[in-house]
Structures are given as structure tokens and as C-alpha cells.
Chain A
Amino acid sequence: MDKDYIPGSGEELDAAGAPEETAASEEIIEETAEKTVEDAADEVSESEDITADEDEIEDAEDAEEDGSPEEPERVRICPNCHKNAMARGHRYCRKCEKKIIKVKAPLGGYIAGFVSLITALCAFVLAFLLMPASLQVAQGDFFAARHNWYSAGMSYNGVSDVITQVTDSVGENSPLKQVIATGSNFDFKIYKTLVNMYGLFRANQAKSNIFKSPGSAEFTAKSNKLATYDAMFEKFSNTYQAVSDIMTEIDYSETRDKKLGEESVKKMEAARGKEGVDDIALDYFIANVIMACDMGDDLEREQLEKVKAKDEATEEDYSWLYYEDLIKFYMKTKDYDKALPLIEAELKKNTSNFTPAYCKAKIIASKGDTKALEDFIGEFCRNNTNLDGSQSDSNYSLLIYYLRVTGDYSHAKDMIEQAKSVYNLNSDFDRQLALVCLVEGDYDAAFEAIWAAEESANYRAQMYQDSSAYTEEFFATSYLAAYMCDKYGNKDSENASHLPEVLEYYKDGAPNDTVDKIIKGELTIEKVLTEGVYDVA
């Protein structure tokens, strides 16, 4: 073996040239040992260049084969700066790569992120606590948007209960109680609901009970939304102040005759044009005088239609003043064609308005179309069902009316009992029971029913200052039942002793023509209560 042979050098010995090749191998190895890292890197890049060159040669050969011209080497530009060439084996140029390595999220970002998480958590808790009450308000808003003011009112009334449940769960002394509370804008929603349900006058009577939030005083003084209602109410109340003496005189007068009426109208006309006296409100009060003093249907019609015409000529809505009186007048004179548009307009403004709805039901019944009556009452009931799915008192009244019209008196009585068990202060149920008993000829039971109606109406008037039960239908039924019981009944029922008292109240005669004709024998109870409007008024 040659002493210069290095085992493992990869060189194979042959007989002749081994020593030279071996020496060359030794030189390479020695040289390699002496190189630094940089030299090695240079060598690497040189080898890359060599590779590139080789690639270039390949490309050129391919191009030659293809016949296309030789292309220069593609230099890949750094995707970040779009200026420098990308370093081989790296994603960016060296400058950008150094910069990117240094990019960190700023401290402000961490602080903002942390603070936002903590505050968002607090906001989430508060939003969660506010959600039940907010959904209840949203439900009320939904009904209000559809002008279903009865259901809207019920929803809004339920908000305080929801808030109480939530605040009870967070604890009596929790600071969160201040957050979980309604404000003046919510109070305004309730006020607006009452205006649309009962009219501006009654809503204003309850105003101090409605606006209870801490900022209510300032809100009621400065709110533009409330200003519209306040302005109209001020016109109404200023006008009433101007004529209140005249109205009081009529109220307390024992003889409300035409003469008194004419004098009163004259005095009221003298107030026209004075400061604070609104023209339309004054005309309405004059209409009241004409009705109170029974100055004749023609004058009443003329005055009420005058109020309506003036209202339609203004941008404001005064219909709350006169619509009920005008509808009732048209119903009394059987001017159903004129009543119906007014009824439809009022039902559009308030889908739960019972008086126009009942009048419309009577108009449909008078045409003998029980299917249309069923459809109308069905739709009304669907729009005015309570939030828990039960029937409202208005629904019960209309359903009982429908059963009377179809002659199903036994179911009518059952429904009356059911309604009374839920709404024991609604006198219309007892009034309708009195009508059923009158048709059946049970005059003692009729009087008992109307006496119960009188008691609940009186209670509502005393306790809630609500005299809405005292309608023309009520008085007509009351007198008719008392008269029939007195004349044809046994007068042995529980409250029969009150008969003289009731009859004394009507000593001047029947409250309306229909009852007057029944008493005179020109009409029968059966005819009145089983045909036409199926009612005594």
C-alpha cells in the first residue's frame, strides 16, 4: 500500500496514476479545513450562481429548441417593499425581513384590547339585565305601530313588573338598580297610548301619575313631542275655562230646555275670538249645549258637522273631541252611510276602540249579514286579545252581542258569566244579560241584571271617575227593564225594592224613542232585540 493513500478519500488506486490524484485529494481536504464560514457561504452562493447559470443554460437550450428568444433571469421582487429583490430562500428582501421581525403589536393595542374586553363584559351584563324589559317595551311598540293601543298599553304596563323581577334578582342595595329603570321617553309612550285610547282630556288628567321618572319635570317642559299634545290640550282647557260657568249652569239646571240652550249658545258665541278661546273647541262646547238641552236633531247635526268640517280643514287632529258624539248621532238617526266612514277612520287610528267597533257591529247586524258580523268580530277579537291569550272585556262584549244576534241565548248567558268572572266591573255584561232576559220574558231577572250593571257603573264612576258606562244603551236598558219588571214582573227578586228609585229617575219619560215606542206599544221587545241593531239604542 502506498503511504500517501488516504482511506475513504473516494479515490481509487490504480497501478499508475494514484499518487497524483491522491495528492489532489489531500490538497482539497486541507484547503477545506482552513476555510471560514463566510468563505463557505460565498462558495454556497457561488454554487447557487453556478446552479443559476446552469438553469440559464437549460432555459436557453429550451428556448433554442422552441425557437423563442432567450429570456433574462426573473428577479423576484420583495412582496413587502416592491422595490428590492427577494433574497433566495426567503420570503422578503433582507431589509424588509429585518423590519418584519421587529414588527410587534403596540402596547396601546394590548391596553385597548384588554380594556375593551372588560368594558364589553360589563356592557354585556347590563344589556342582559335590560333585555327582558326592553323586549316588553318592544312588544308594546309593535302593537302601537299597528295602532292596537289596548295591547300596547298592556305591554307597557307589564314593564314595571319585569323590572321588579330583574331588580329583585340583583339585590335590594345593588347600584345596578339605577341602570335598570325606565325614563321619561318611556313615560311618554304610555301617555301617547292613553291619548289614543281615551282621548287627550283623560290622558292629561292622568299625566302626573304617568310621568314619574327623575327627569320628568324637565322633559315635560322641554320635549317637542309632548309640546304638540300640550298645545292642543291648552287650547281645549283655555276654551273650557272661558265657558265653564255656562257649562256648570247647564249641568246644575233642573230644566234643560230649548230656552236655556239658546241663551247659553248666545253667551258662548260672545266668547268667540277672545284670547285663549279656540274656535273648534268652542263649537264643540256649543254642540254639547245643544245635545244637553235637546234643541233638536237638525241643530245637533249641523253643529257637530260644523266641528268636523273645521277639524278636517286644520292640520291638527281634533277628532278625539267629537267623533263619539257624531257617530252616536248618526247611529241614532240611522245615517249608517255617514257613520261608517267615521267609524272606519277611528278604528284605523285605534284598532281597539270599542265604541266605533260596537257601532259597526250593529250596522252589519242591521243588514242581516251574520257572516260579515262574525268576520268583523273575529278580526277585532284577534287584534285585541290579551297578551296571555285571554279575551279582553271589549272582545267579550262583542262576542256576547254576536251570540244574541244569532239567537244563541244560552251560550250568551254562559259567556256573560265567564266574562263577569274575569271583569266584574264591566257593566255592559250585565246590561246584555238584561237584554237576554227581556227577550225571554223574565223581567225580574232583567231588572236584577240591570241593577248589578248600575252598581258596577256607579262604583267605577266613584272610584275611578270613569262614567263611560253611562251610555244611551245603558239608560235605555235600565228604564225598559225597570218598567217591564214593574208592570209585568213578580217584583220579588232581591233588588226589587229599588224599582221605585229607578223609575223616579226616568220620571220625565223614556230616554230614547225606541224605548218610548216599546212602552207605547208601537214596537215589541222581540222586534227590537231580534232585528235591526239588536239593541234598545
Chain B
Amino acid sequence: MRLLYVIIKFICFPGTYLRGFWENLTCKVLHLEVESEGYMRPDEACGHVEHTLASTGWSAWLMAVGPGFMCFCTGSAFFLFGLFDIFYMGITFYDNAVLFILSIISMYLGGSLLCAAFPLTEDILNFWDVAYRGGLKGGNIPVKILKVIGIIISFPVALITRVGAFLEKNCITFLMTVAILVFHIIFVR
């Protein structure tokens, strides 16, 4: 599985590299020490950076969700543009070769970014521990209320991210992206 994971990460190298960069940048912002150099590593952390774990809720949240949010936003834009142009507007190579090729590249970029939209399980589990397992210890009532609100608001995204991290670790996000493309090739185009 590790080998398959690494192969897929290298196939989707634009997304992998950008993911690593966004994580690195987030560590810099949060003053978390980055322990490794390079993003395209042939191990389980390919596309991610090894770093010290964040200790506060907000830092852990940003570390877990922030880079993925960047990848998701940029990836969606690329992917949707390519998808709309080729499968729905029906542009072919004969109609506009440049636009057709750009759409293909855009879909590839978008797909690779979407395949790198989830963090390592360590990051999301760290957030889970910091935010949810710690409970409501410490602080006065207003702080506790804010904590509760934060927990409620963050829970859906945290759950999705946790599930997504598992899926990405097992290469399932890549399969899902491929499945979307195959569906469109068979039923839409």
C-alpha cells in the first residue's frame, strides 16, 4: 500500500508538491518547526512535511485543515473548468485545440490537487485530541461557551477531514477522482 501510495503521489506530483508547500507555509505561520526537507519523498509522508505538532486548538485546526483548504479551492477551480469545458460544453480538439489541451491540463492539475486535499492522519488526530478529547477544562464560563461553539462549528469539517485523511492514506481519493472521470466519459460525453 505504501508503494502504491507513493506511486500515486508521484503521478499526481503537482498536487503533491503544492500540498507540501502549503503545509510548510502553514508551519512557518504557526511557528511550528519543520523537521524535513523536500516534499516528494518516497515514503508515507510524500506530499507532507514532518513538523512538531501544534498544541493549541486553533493552531491544530489550521494545520489540519488550512493546507487542504488551499488545495481544495484551487483544485476545484481547475477541475471544474476542465470538466465543464470538455464534458458539458463538448469542446473537442477539432473545435479549439488550445482550449482542449488547456482543459485537459486543468483537469489533471485539479484532480491532483483534490487528491492531495487531506492531511496526514497525525495532523487531524492531533486536532481531534487537542479540541475534543481535552474537554472543557480550564477557563471561565464565556471561554467554555466559546469552546463549545468552536467544537460544534468545527466538527463537520473535522469529521470529513478525518475520514478524508483515511481515504487518502489508502489511495481511495485517487480512485474516486478516476471514477468521476470515467463516469463522465461513459455517460456524459
Chain B residue, CB-CB nearest to A186: B90
* B39 partner residues in chain A, CB cutoff 8 A: 109
Chain B residue, CB-CB nearest to A163: B89
A123 & B78 in contact (Cβ 8 Å cutoff): yes
* B154 partner residues in chain A, CB cutoff 8 A: none
B33 & A91 in contact (Cβ 8 Å cutoff): yes
Size category, A interface: 35 or more
State the CA gap A371–B187 with chains docked (Å). 37
Contact residue among A91, A119, A120 (Cβ-Cβ distance under 8 Å from B73): A120
B88 & A138 in contact (Cβ 8 Å cutoff): yes
Query: Does B2 reach chain A (CB closer than 8 Å)?
Result: no
State the CA gap A194–B91 with chains docked (Å). 20
* A113 partner residues in chain B, CB cutoff 8 A: 18, 21-22, 25
B81 & A127 in contact (Cβ 8 Å cutoff): yes
CB-CB contacts of A156-198 with B at 8 A, as 1s and 0s?
0000000000000000000000110111111111000000000
Query: Does A418 reach chain B (CB closer than 8 Å)?
Result: no
Contact residue among B36, B81, B89, B95 (Cβ-Cβ distance under 8 Å from A214): B95
B106 & A123 in contact (Cβ 8 Å cutoff): yes
Given known pairs A113-B22, A134-B89, A182-B90, the reply for A215 and B81 (CB within 8 Å) is no
Within 8 A of B (CB), among A342-385: none
Measured between C-beta atoms, what is the minimum distance from A219 to chain B in Å? 5
* A219 partner residues in chain B, CB cutoff 8 A: 92, 94-95
State the CA gap A96–B50 with chains docked (Å). 13
A120 & B77 in contact (Cβ 8 Å cutoff): yes
Measured between C-beta atoms, what is the minimum distance from A416 to chain B in Å? 40
* A181 partner residues in chain B, CB cutoff 8 A: 89, 91, 95
Contact residue among A105, A131, A215, A216 (Cβ-Cβ distance under 8 Å from B84): A131
State the CA gap A113–B93 with chains docked (Å). 29
B89 & A137 in contact (Cβ 8 Å cutoff): yes
Query: Does B144 reach chain A (CB closer than 8 Å)?
Result: no
* B92 partner residues in chain A, CB cutoff 8 A: 183-185, 213, 215, 219
* A133 partner residues in chain B, CB cutoff 8 A: 88-89
Looking at B89, B109, B113, B189, the one whose CB has the most chain A CB atoms below 10 A away is B89
Query: Chain A interface secondary structure, helix, strand, loop or mixed?
Result: helix
Looking at B35, B37, B95, B189, the one whose CB has the most chain A CB atoms below 10 A away is B95
* A222 partner residues in chain B, CB cutoff 8 A: 94
* B37 partner residues in chain A, CB cutoff 8 A: 103
CB-CB contacts of A89-119 with B at 8 A, as 1s and 0s?
0011000100010010110011011001101
Measured between C-beta atoms, what is the minimum distance from B131 to chain A in Å? 23
A215 & B33 in contact (Cβ 8 Å cutoff): no
B91 & A183 in contact (Cβ 8 Å cutoff): yes
B74 & A185 in contact (Cβ 8 Å cutoff): no
A103 & B96 in contact (Cβ 8 Å cutoff): no
A123 & B34 in contact (Cβ 8 Å cutoff): no
Within 8 A of B (CB), among A120-163: 120-121, 123-124, 126-127, 130-131, 133-134, 137-138, 141, 145
State the CA gap A217–B77 with chains docked (Å). 32
* A119 partner residues in chain B, CB cutoff 8 A: 78
Query: Does B20 reach chain A (CB closer than 8 Å)?
Result: yes
Within 8 A of A (CB), among B1-34: 14, 17-18, 20-22, 24-25, 28, 33-34
Query: Does B56 reach chain A (CB closer than 8 Å)?
Result: no
Measured between C-beta atoms, what is the minimum distance from A190 to chain B in Å? 10
Can you list 24 A-B pairs, Cβ within 8 angstroms, ordered by A? A91-B33, A91-B52, A100-B35, A103-B37, A109-B24, A113-B22, A116-B18, A123-B81, A123-B110, A130-B85, A131-B80, A133-B88, A134-B89, A137-B90, A138-B188, A141-B187, A141-B188, A182-B90, A182-B91, A184-B90, A213-B95, A214-B95, A215-B92, A215-B95
